A and B are shown apart, each in its own frame.
Chain A
Amino acid sequence: MKLFSSSILAFVFACFASSATAAVTVGHIENGTVGEFLTSSGAAVAAGGVSIGIFTDGGGTPITVSDSAVASATSFADLVALGYKDVRSLSGATAAGGTDWDFPSPVSGSYNSIAISALPAGTQLYLLAFNAGSFVSGAPSTSFAGATEWAVIKDTGDHLSPADLGTKSLLLNTVIASDILVGADKGNNVTMASLAAIPEPSRALLGLMGFMALLARRRR
């Protein structure tokens, strides 16, 4: 009987304890103090924008994706296919007034009210930057269309989602070279790298050999 009563009490408490909205905030700012994304040539980024997100399975549970799989993506759609979800797509995400994650700078702002169930504490956040397009709410796979450069940051030491009710501000000055999956560390800044598919060396070599053979035949 006592066990039964305790079970009821535990159930009542569990039901009640979940009644509050549990939510977190994710923010990002770029400036000369905390660092900025730059193009591969070190110039200010004129277009495109920033995406902060996580990888999830079909049910929304965070998953681990290999760094090589992330780095070999050739479009935002490839990332989406791997399970990438921008925090703006997560339940409850609400932009603070004035939030703008699009280039040109200043890039700054936060999204709060993100359901903790969609972004559990300690989840690895990825910080991405593209040099064209923007995030497309509702059709994420079409986001950042036309981008030819990008950067991917996976800061395992600092860029983790906050505990319930908390705030996480993702900055570039916490990033070290080993956190950069795509791009390069330039002090507080991070430069982008090419997003376009790189021809395989064997294919390029075959082409060169064919060209040489053609030249030789013409001489004969």
Chain B
Amino acid sequence: MKFHLPLVLLGAALLTAPAVLGQATSGVMGFSTLNCPTGTTLVVPTLVNPSVFQGQAAISADGLTITPTTAPGWAAGAYNATSFSAPTPNYPRFYAEVVSGTNEGLILDILSNSASELTMASAVIPAGIRGTTVQIAIREHVTLDKIVQGATGLTAYADAANLFGPTGATITRIFDGSSWVAGDYTTPAGHSVIYPGSGFSFSAASTVVFSFMGEVKPTKTKVPMYQAGVNIVGNLNPASALLIYGSSFKEALSPYADGFNRFSADGNMTTLGTYFSDGAQMLDGAYNPLAPTATDSVPVNRGVVVSVSADAVVTLNSPLAP
């Protein structure tokens, strides 16, 4: 299958204004396309929305609030989660991300905000980060509606996405011609969130081409993987595939117990390879170490399906700071 991968750097200037000033910075903007043939494809967007705030912030001792050290002057409610009436599902709209230090890449969902404080959707974890001051960035989540912007070939009520929750639940979203609806074909669900480094399985009735546009993520990304869930994980690099040999999966996977499958991109989801880790290096499906020359990779804008024996986190490097 032909891979379209023009990475257009729309804004190459990473502004160097001190983040402590509490302002948003513009990063490297990118453009990337994904060709989905008829059938099923794993989709993991490689670009994120630009940050709307960056700065130092203190996390409360209970982990429920984050307060910038310099008054940010936010509009109250600007980062609030959605608040639709049932049965429409609600999602966080923005997230705060730790952008430096040992917790770099941690994604923290925002429930609401005042002019000076963020209230988090749940107490932030790991608990060790509570009561500390960290550098954060705030970004709007990528949603299914964002993903279909500029897409071609979509077929209403035939094309569908399956998202997978932490508990293993499958969440079906159906394209209705302009947005997405839930599995009942009526409930609005275009605001369903796709977390950085995570993805969904997409079923196309005929060839669909997604055109992703956004910021090339300049920092690491921590991607949670759930024991009970189907974890579709991919790299946040819009320019090149992630070589499995030497990848950070080797530390993230429990030795010999956890593994992942890589699939064909022809719509048939044929298993191309199975991979494990021994804790220090990546293994192939026969549990033999991958050779340094192995070209096995996680394709751009696609993912692998990871199975873990206990909840785990994989930390993916930024393509700008590998």
- Interface residue ranges, A against B (CB under 8 Å): 6, 9-10, 12-13, 16-17, 19-23, 25, 27, 29, 31, 33-34, 94, 96-100, 108-110, 112-113, 158, 162-169, 171, 174
Could you tell me the distance in whole angstroms from the C-beta of B51 to the nearest C-beta in chain A? 33
* A10, A16, A34, A109: most-surrounded residue (chain B CB, <10 A): A16
B82-112 interface (Cβ within 8 A of A): none
Question: Can you name 13 A-B pairs with beta carbons within 8 Å?
Answer: A16-B205, A17-B203, A23-B271, A29-B256, A34-B257, A110-B274, A110-B276, A113-B271, A167-B258, A167-B306, A168-B307, A169-B258, A169-B309
For chain B, what secondary structure do more than half of its interface residues adopt (helix, strand, loop), or is it mixed? loop
The bracket for how many chain B residues form the interface is 35 or more
Could you tell me the distance in whole angstroms from the C-beta of A56 to the nearest C-beta in chain B? 22
- Interface residue ranges, B against A (CB under 8 Å): 38-40, 157-158, 160, 168, 174, 185, 201, 203, 205, 229-230, 255-261, 263, 267-271, 273-274, 276, 278, 284-288, 305-307, 309
Is the CB–CB distance between B286 and A10 below 8 Å?
no
When A13-B157, A13-B158, A21-B270 are in contact, do A171 and B285 touch as well, CB less than 8 Å? no
Residues of A within 8 A of B269 (CB): 20-23, 165
Is the CB–CB distance between B203 and A16 below 8 Å?
yes
Is the CB–CB distance between B307 and A98 below 8 Å?
no
B205, B230, B257, B274: the one contacting A164 at CB < 8 Å is: B230
Instruction: Tell me the complex Cα distance, A16–B174, Å.
Output: 12
Is the CB–CB distance between B271 and A98 below 8 Å?
no
Is the CB–CB distance between A20 and B285 below 8 Å?
no
Is the CB–CB distance between A34 and B259 below 8 Å?
no
Is the CB–CB distance between B286 and A25 below 8 Å?
no
Closest 9 A/B residue pairs (Cβ): A96-B285, A98-B286, A20-B40, A167-B259, A108-B287, A165-B305, A166-B307, A112-B271, A167-B307
Residues of B within 8 A of A99 (CB): 285-286
A9, A22, A25, A33: the one contacting B285 at CB < 8 Å is: A25
Residues of B within 8 A of A13 (CB): 157-158, 160, 174
Is the CB–CB distance between A12 and B158 below 8 Å?
yes
Is the CB–CB distance between A33 and B255 below 8 Å?
yes
Could you tell me the distance in whole angstroms from the C-beta of B80 to the nearest C-beta in chain A? 33
Instruction: Tell me the complex Cα distance, A16–B256, Å.
Output: 36
Is the CB–CB distance between A17 and B157 below 8 Å?
no
When A19-B40, A113-B270 are in contact, do A169 and B286 touch as well, CB less than 8 Å? no
* A109, A165, A168, A171: most-surrounded residue (chain B CB, <10 A): A165
When A21-B270, A163-B168, A167-B307 are in contact, do A112 and B285 touch as well, CB less than 8 Å? yes
Is the CB–CB distance between B276 and A169 below 8 Å?
yes
Residues of B within 8 A of A31 (CB): 256
Add 4 more A-B contacts to A98-B284, A98-B286 (CB < 8 A).
A34-B255, A108-B286, A163-B229, A166-B230
Residues of A within 8 A of B257 (CB): 34, 169, 171, 174
When A16-B205, A21-B268, A34-B256 are in contact, do A166 and B309 touch as well, CB less than 8 Å? no
A6, A19, A96, A158: the one contacting B274 at CB < 8 Å is: A96
B158, B230, B270, B286: the one contacting A96 at CB < 8 Å is: B286
Instruction: Tell me the complex Cα distance, A99–B256, Å.
Output: 14
Question: B258 — nearest CB in chain A belongs to which residue?
Answer: A169
